Amino acid sequence: MICRKIILDLSINCTKENTSQCPIPHSMTDQEFSEKQISLLKNIPVEFHNALSYSAWEMGHSAGYEEVIGILSDLVGSFEDPIKKFEARIRSEK
């Protein structure tokens, strides 16, 4: 996931010799979290929003908003194509 890579890169590049140049990772605000969730779910039918958001929250909330967003992004990526295929099948059966 992107957030993990950023944190890992920061920890690799930050040594005792150059700590003054190491940025402190920004914690995501409630507003940013909400906006990112909305953005990730925009192409997913509303019927799936609660299930995906809840699953991501349950799997990652102890690690913070960034982790939840990373997991939600993975879930959306996994389900986006099957949902599109399902929608196409439903339309063709009407």
The model's pLDDT over 1-55, given as tens digits with 9 standing for 90+, comes to 444 444 444 444 555 555 556 566 678 999 999 999 999 999 999 999 999 999 9
CA distance 9 to 52: 29
* Nearest one of 36, 30, 47 to 72, comparing CA atoms: 36
Please tell me the predicted confidence (pLDDT) of residue 20.
Answer: 57
Angle among Cα 58, 83, 41 to the nearest 5 degrees reads 50
Tokens linked to 14: 């930050």
pTM over cut 0.85: no
Residue 91: CB atoms within 10 A of its CB come to 8
Q: How far is CA 66 from the centre of its chain?
A: 7
